[in-house]
């Protein structure tokens, strides 16, 4: 398990050098946010950050929100390093002008003993769209998914993929359906081969708008999704039963805390579960979804192992779409994506208590367990 290792140099106690690990927890937590964005309240910060602060205060801990900007990076780093035992990252890195500096700062903080909630590499590995591909062959991901990292492979292989049926091509960045395309070949070729000049119907999950164009043109348009660090396109089957809704499992580390059932708008081309596109959300307790909760509980260790063995994020979601097993006719839950970087819980503010408890327990454990001999081995 990759953990946030903290080494404290040996301390001089009287005339004896005590080489044990630091026993005192720094009981201050910094919450990073970014300015702007639709998730902010009247006073500029996320409305669901305040209850975390209040819950920590009740435990006798202190915390504060810091708005990250590249320009202030050095000062923020020094302040956090000196004051905080842990940080909570509540920034959507895709919304920063560049995520490089932010991740660099988080990495340095972890290196210098601040507990990362989550560690930047955990954020990257759990939250990237290729998490679905990395879980291929498990109970929650079918074999028929792939991920492209360069334009040549995408251009060479995506047409053949479309010959198998309607696909969803997903860019890695963004989180509101932008660059998430349902792609369907119109007038399929009788010999089953799909060529670049065939017309495709492309529907974007951002707003369910439809564009029709030759496949070659769509592929060229997608070149931007493959640019730069983290550039990739996930290619998975379009799951018809998205009409019944996307099922979001809200996680606090390894426990399911609630379920959000997101039903796309009732319109012919609608497949998006985003609020902006008109989807309707229903909040449900886990006991309404016993089968799914069982699957999630079984899958969490596999998810953790396959996605790099990082500590589980504090707050994260696992999003599923229903499918039907062609052999048994039974329901199957297919992983659509994992969100690990800036999950909100504005509708369930009472969760702040559990979140604060988890932070405190975690920091206390980090302070007493020697990371060379961890409590939880794989
Ligand atoms: N394989 C799929 N089949 C059907 N609909 C899908 C599929 N994958 C994604 N969607 C729809 O597209 C929306 C956006 O895709 P998602 O993977 O959640 O990306 P984002 O990061 O933009 O939220 C989902 O909320 C869901 O409604
Ligand atoms: Mg999503």
* Per-residue pLDDT tens digits for 246-278: 999 999 999 999 999 999 999 999 999 998 899
pLDDT at 189 over 80: no
Residues 333 and 249 in one domain: yes
**Domain edge (last residue) among 214, 239, 264:** 239
pLDDT value for 4: 46
Token pair for residue 260? Answer: 């959000």
Number of folded domains that form the chain: 3
What pLDDT is recorded for position 10? Answer: 38
Nearest of 160, 155, 222 to residue 185 by alpha carbon = 160
pLDDT of 113-128, one tens digit each? 999 999 999 999 999 9
- For residue 202, what pLDDT band results from cuts at 50, 70 and 90? very high
Mean of per-residue pLDDT scores for the chain: 90
Q: Please count the residues of the chain.
A: 378
Say if CB 280 and CB 255 are below 8 A apart.
Answer: no
Q: Kindly report the protein residue whose alpha carbon is nearest to atom 14 of ligand 1.
A: 177
Query: Among the three residues 239, 272, 295, which one is the final residue of a domain in this structure?
Result: 239
CATH of the domain at 53: 3.40.50.2300
49 by Cβ neighbours in 10 Å (0-12 / 13-18 / 19+) ranks as: buried
Asked whether residue 112 falls in the same domain as residue 21, the answer is yes
Residues 196 and 251 in one domain: no
Confidence of residue 334 (pLDDT cuts 50, 70, 90): very high
Alpha-carbon dihedral 310, 312, 313, 314, rounded to 10 degrees? -140
Condensed to tens digits (0 to 9), the pLDDT of residues 56-105 reads 999 999 999 999 999 999 999 999 999 999 999 999 887 788 889 999 99
Q: 180 CB under 6 A from ligand 1?
A: yes
Strands 246-252, 255-263: pairing is antiparallel
Is 300 contained in some domain? yes
**pLDDT confidence of residue 78:** 97
When pLDDT is cut at 50, 70 and 90, the band that residue 24 belongs to is: low
- Check whether residue 291 and residue 253 sit in a common domain: yes
Say yes or no: CB of residue 273 within 6 Å of ligand 1.
yes
Greatest mean pLDDT among 188-192, 214-218, 364-368: 214-218
pLDDT of 377: 57
* Same-domain status, 109 and 178: no
Binding site membership of 176 for ligand 1 (Cβ less than 6 Å): yes
| Res 21 pLDDT > 60 | no
Same domain, 233 and 248: no
Within this chain, do residues 15 and 81 fall inside the same structural domain, yes or no?
yes
How far is ligand 1, taken at its centre, from the CA of residue 246, in Å?
8
Distance CA 128, CA 4 (A): 20
Would 129 be classed as within a structural domain? no
**For residue 312, what is the domain's CATH number?**
3.30.470.20
Is the distance from the beta carbon of residue 357 to the nearest atom of ligand 1 less than 6 Å? Answer: no
Does 83 lie in the same domain as 45?
yes
How are beta strands 146-148 and 233-237 bridged, if at all?
antiparallel
Evaluate whether residue 83 is within a structural domain: yes
Question: Do both 230 and 308 map to the same domain?
Answer: no
For the chain, the first-to-last Cα distance in angstroms comes to 6
Q: Are strands 233-237 and 167-171 parallel, antiparallel or unpaired?
A: antiparallel
Return the best residue to mutate from 130, 242, 339 for the ligand 1 pocket (most ligand atoms within 8 A of CB).
Answer: 242
SS3 per residue for the chain = CECCCCCCCCEEECCEEECCCCCCCCCEEEEEECCCCCCCCCCCCCCCCHHHHHHHHHCCCEEEEEECCHHHHHHHHHHHHHHCCEEEECCCHHHCCCCHHHHHHHHHHHHCCCEEECCHHHHHHHHCCHHHHHCCCCCCCCCCCEEECCHHHHHHHHHHHHCCCCEEEEECCCCCCCCEEEEEECCCCCCCCCCCCCEEEEEECCCCEEEEEEHHHHHHHHHHHHCCCCCCEEEEECCHHHHHCEEEEEEECCEEEEEEEEECCCCCCCCCCCHHHCCEEEEECHHHCHHHHHHHHHHHHHHHHHCCCECCCCEEEEEEEEEECCCCCCEEEEEEEEECCCCCCHHHCCHHHHHHHHHHHHHHHHHHCCHHHCCCCC
pLDDT of 5: 43
Residue whose entry in the numeric block shows the structure tokens 């559990």:
354
Nearest to 210 by CA among 189, 186, 183, 229: 183
In a domain, 377, yes or no: no
Query: Does residue 32 lie in a domain region?
Result: yes
5 is a domain residue: no
Taking a C-beta distance cutoff of 8 angstroms, is the pair 198, 186 a contact? Answer: yes
Does 183 reside within a domain? yes
Provide the pLDDT for residue 13.
Answer: 37
Domain membership flag for residue 284: yes
Q: Is the pLDDT of residue 368 over 90?
A: no
Provide φ and ψ at 132, rounded to 5°: -60, -45
Per-residue model confidence as pLDDT tens digits over 283-321: 999 999 999 999 999 999 999 999 999 999 999 999 999
The pair phi, psi for residue 105, each rounded to 5°, is -65, -45
- What is the residue with the minimal CA distance to atom 2 of ligand 1? 238
Task: Please identify, by atom number, the ligand 1 atom nearest to the C-alpha of residue 236.
Answer: 1
Residues 142 and 233 grouped into a single domain: yes
User: Which of 239, 256, 274 is the C-terminal boundary of a domain?
Assistant: 239
Q: Which residue has the higher pLDDT, 364 or 156?
A: 156
Domain that includes residue 89, residue range = 11-118+346-372
CATH of residue 203 = 3.90.70
Q: What are residue 12's DSSP bridge partners?
A: 17
**Whole-number pLDDT of residue 97:** 85
Do residues 24 and 2 make contact, with C-beta atoms less than 8 angstroms apart?
no
**256 C-alpha to center of ligand 1: Å?**
21
Considering the domain architecture, whether residues 293 and 368 belong to the same structural domain is answered as: no
The answer to whether residues 69 and 92 belong to one domain is yes
């Amino acid at each position: 398990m990759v953990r946030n290792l903290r080494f404290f140099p040996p301390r001089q106690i009287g005339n004896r050098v005590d080489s044990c690990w630091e026993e005192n927890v720094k009981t201050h937590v910094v919450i990073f946010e970014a300015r702007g964005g639709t998730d902010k309240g009247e006073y500029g910060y996320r409305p669901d950050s305040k209850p975390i602060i209040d819950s920590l205060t009740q435990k006798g801990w202190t915390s504060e929100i810091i708005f990250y900007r590249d320009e202030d990076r050095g000062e923020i780093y020094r302040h956090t390093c000196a004051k905080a035992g842990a940080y909570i990252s509540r920034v959507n890195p895709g919304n920063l002008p560049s995520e490089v500096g932010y991740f660099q700062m988080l990495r340095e903080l972890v290196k210098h003993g601040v507990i990362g909630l989550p560690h930047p590499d955990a954020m990257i590995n759990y939250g990237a769209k290729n998490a679905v591909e990395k879980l291929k062959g498990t109970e929650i991901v079918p074999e028929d998914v792939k991920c492209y990292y360069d334009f040549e492979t995408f251009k060479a292989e995506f047409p053949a993929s479309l010959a198998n049926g309607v696909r969803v091509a997903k860019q890695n960045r963004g989180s509101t359906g932008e660059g998430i395309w349902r792609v369907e070949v119109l007038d399929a070729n009788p010999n089953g081969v799909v060529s670049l000049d065939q017309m495709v119907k492309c529907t974007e999950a951002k707003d369910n708008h439809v564009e029709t164009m030759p496949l070659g043109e769509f592929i060229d348009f997608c070149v931007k999704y493959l640019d730069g660090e983290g550039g990739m396109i996930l290619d998975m089957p379009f799951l018809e039963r998205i009409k019944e809704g996307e099922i979001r499992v809200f996680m606090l580390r390894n426990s399911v805390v609630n379920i959000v059932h997101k039903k796309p708008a009732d319109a012919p081309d609608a497949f998006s579960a985003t609020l902006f596109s008109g989807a309707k959300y229903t909040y449900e307790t886990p006991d309404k979804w016993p089968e799914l909760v069982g699957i999630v509980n079984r899958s969490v260790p596999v998810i953790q192992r396959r996605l790099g063995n990082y500590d589980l994020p504090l707050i994260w979601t696992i999003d599923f779409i229903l499918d039907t097993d062609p052999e048994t006719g039974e329901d199957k839950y297919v992983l659509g994506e994992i969100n690990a970087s800036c999950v909100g819980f504005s509708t369930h503010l009472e969760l702040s208590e559990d979140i604060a408890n988890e932070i405190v327990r975690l920091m206390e454990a980090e302070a007493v367990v020697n990371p060379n001999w961890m409590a939880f081995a794989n």
